[in-house]
């Protein structure tokens, strides 16, 4: 509840700009409010480690605005729908000027052209990759009970032995809540042959640095490890310890003293396909995807059991679908309690397992090649637009002050 109130308070400064007496004196005045809205969303995505959840732009996934995501990203969609909402409100109150009605008409024509043109930003590989995603549906009480480790392991063994399995097997975040280096034999035991790829979330310890990481390991003929870069505040580490250390100890969350992985890490290579790894919450940060001009896909392992039976796992899946749209690349998502899915490059979940359900997804994924404009330029275009609007607005304000 405190988090919800805090997130809501971040948007309240907008009330200093708009009120019942607001009038669109110029086109730039009309756009200043969407600009402030997006800046506040970006601020919320950064402060205290960031919480880029439920931004306005996420609400339009699966609509006509899908064409915008791979070009300028979700914040741009926030800007567009905020502008549209403001225009509708002013029209209803008969306070939209004639000149701005003309500007809105021009913008509509431009968007219509973009929608029907709908460029393709990536091409699919002719050969697909066969994957099996395991969703064990283990609740938090069981997952972090040391006496239940053998039961958790048996559940994974049963899922593999009782179902037809593809060559690449993907397990969720921290599949077994033990240090990977102390339990390597279990992961190797799941490889029935040398050509099997095991991809799993693990707790990985770097003995040289004496640090523990939330990681993903790939086991085939080699061993590849990725360490999570963007940790969840309070859940995985304590920000500003001098202030929040007492709160962290009070919460007593298991494995909440993890270390951040290096910002620059190599993507995985599995059967000559590049895999861009993201762990849980990292899927909300598109800048963590270092897309190259090779056939690749995005892999996201997660443990949404913390959310319980709420809207959050559905929202988490929606964020993953938006990353697929922005990158124009498919996403493979393996979640402990759900919602696991195979998402194509158009943001459509072609296969999924329902929340709080045990099961396996056997599916085919077509890696894509190509770099969308958003993956190339990130949020810089929308930020440049916003600052240009604010600069013109400030100059106009001084002129008529």
Catalytic site residue 228?
A: yes
Residues 7 and 129 in one domain: no
* pLDDT at residue 387 greater than cutoff 80: yes
Residues 350 and 390 in one domain: no
Residues 365 and 396 in one domain: no
- Greatest mean pLDDT range, 102-111, 126-135, 176-185: 126-135
- Greatest mean pLDDT range, 37-46, 83-92, 315-324: 315-324
- Rounded to 5 degrees, φ, ψ at 332 are -105, 125
Residues 106 and 149 in one domain: no
Residues 84 and 130 in one domain: no
Q: What is the pTM of this model?
A: 0.86
- Average pLDDT on 266-281 reads 92
| HEC-encoded secondary structure of the chain | CHHHHHHHHHHHHHHHCCCCCCCCCCHHHHHHHHHHHHHHHHHHCCHHHCCCCCCHHHHHCCCHHHHCHHHHCHHHHHHHHHHHHHHHHHHHCCCCCHHHHHHHHHHHHHHHHHHHHCCCCCEECCCCEEEEEEECCCCHHHHCCHHHHHHHHHHHHHHHHCCCCCCEEECCCCCCCCEHHHCHHHHHHCCCCCCCEEEEEEEEEECCCCEEEEEEEEECCCEEEEECCCCCECCCECCCHHHHHHHHHHHCCCCCCCCCCCCCCCCEEECCEEEEEEEHHHHHCHHHCCCCCCCEEEEEEECHHHHCCCCHHHHHHHHHHHHHHHHCCCEEEEECCCCCEEECCCCCEEEECCCCCCEEEEEEECCEECCCHHHHHCCHHHHHHHHHHHHHHHHHHHHHC
Residues 186 and 234 in one domain: yes
Distance CA 378, CA 26 (A): 29
Which has the higher per-residue pLDDT, 126 or 91? 126
* pLDDT at residue 240 greater than cutoff 60: no
Residues 198 and 69 in one domain: no
* pLDDT at residue 320 greater than cutoff 90: yes
Catalytic site residue 167?
A: no
- Average pLDDT on 265-287 reads 92
Q: Which residue has the tokens 């306070």?
A: 95
25 falls in which pLDDT band (50, 70, 90)?
Answer: low
- From 280, 282, 326, 345, active-site residue: 280
Residues 173 and 112 in one domain: no
Q: What is the pLDDT of residue 248?
A: 53
Is there a contact between 131 and 365 (Cβ–Cβ < 8 Å)?
A: yes
- CATH number reported for the structural domain that contains residue 207 in this entry: 3.60.110.10
Residues 34 and 175 in one domain: no
206 falls in which pLDDT band (50, 70, 90)?
Answer: confident
Q: What is the pLDDT of residue 161?
A: 84
Residues 193 and 218 in one domain: yes
- Average pLDDT on 116-122 reads 85
- Average pLDDT on 256-262 reads 80
The count of domains in the chain is 2
* pLDDT at residue 242 greater than cutoff 60: no
Q: Can you give the residue range of the structural domain that contains 57?
A: 2-121+376-400
Which residues are within 8 A (CB) of 16 and not within 5 positions of it... i.e. 6 or more apart? Answer: none
- Average pLDDT on 13-21 reads 64
Q: What is the pLDDT of residue 246?
A: 55
Residues 255 and 380 in one domain: no
Residues 116 and 92 in one domain: yes
- From 143, 155, 228, 345, active-site residue: 228
Catalytic site residue 110?
A: no
């Amino acid at each position: 509840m405190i988090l919800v109130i805090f997130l809501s308070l971040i948007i309240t400064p907008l009330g200093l700009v708009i009120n019942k007496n607001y009038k669109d004196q110029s086109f730039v005045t009309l756009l200043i409010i969407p600009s402030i809205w997006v800046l506040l969303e970006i601020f919320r995505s950064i402060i205290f480690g960031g919480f880029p959840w439920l931004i306005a732009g996420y609400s339009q996934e699966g609509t006509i605005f899908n064409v915008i995501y791979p070009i300028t990203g979700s914040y741009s969609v926030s800007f567009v729908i905020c502008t549209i909402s403001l225009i509708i409100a002013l029209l209803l109150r008969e306070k939209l000027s004639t000149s701005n009605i003309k500007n809105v008409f021009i913008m509509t024509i431009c968007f219509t052209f973009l929608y029907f043109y709908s460029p393709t930003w990536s091409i699919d590989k002719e050969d697909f990759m066969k994957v099996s995603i395991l969703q064990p549906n283990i609740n938090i009480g069981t997952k972090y009970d040391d006496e239940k480790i053998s039961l958790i392991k048996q559940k994974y063994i049963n899922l593999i032995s009782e179902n037809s399995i593809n060559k690449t097997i993907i397990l969720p975040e921290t599949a077994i809540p033990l240090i990977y280096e102390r339990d390597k034999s279990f992961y190797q035991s799941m490889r029935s042959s040398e050509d099997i790829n095991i991809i799993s979330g693990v707790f990985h310890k770097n003995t040289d640095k004496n640090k523990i990481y939330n990681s993903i390991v790939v086991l085939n003929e080699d061993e590849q490890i990725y360490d999570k870069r963007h940790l969840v505040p309070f859940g995985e580490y304590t920000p500003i310890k001098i202030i929040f250390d007492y709160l962290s100890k009070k919460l007593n969350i298991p494995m909440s003293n993890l270390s951040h992985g290096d910002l620059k890490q190599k993507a995985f290579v599995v059967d000559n396909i590049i895999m861009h790894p993201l762990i849980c919450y990292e899927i909300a940060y598109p800048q963590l995807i270092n897309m190259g001009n090779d056939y690749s896909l995005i892999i996201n392992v997660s443990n949404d059991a913390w959310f319980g039976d709420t809207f959050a796992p559905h929202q988490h899946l929606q964020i993953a679908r938006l990353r697929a749209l922005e990158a124009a690349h498919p996403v493979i998502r393996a979640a402990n309690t759900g919602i696991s899915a195979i998402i194509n490059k158009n943001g459509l979940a072609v296969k999924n397992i329902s929340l709080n359900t045990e099961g396996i997804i056997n599916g085919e994924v077509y890696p894509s090649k190509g770099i969308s404009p958003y993956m190339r330029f990130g949020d810089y275009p929308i930020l440049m637009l916003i600052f240009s609007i604010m600069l013109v607005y400030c100059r106009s304000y001084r002129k008529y002050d």
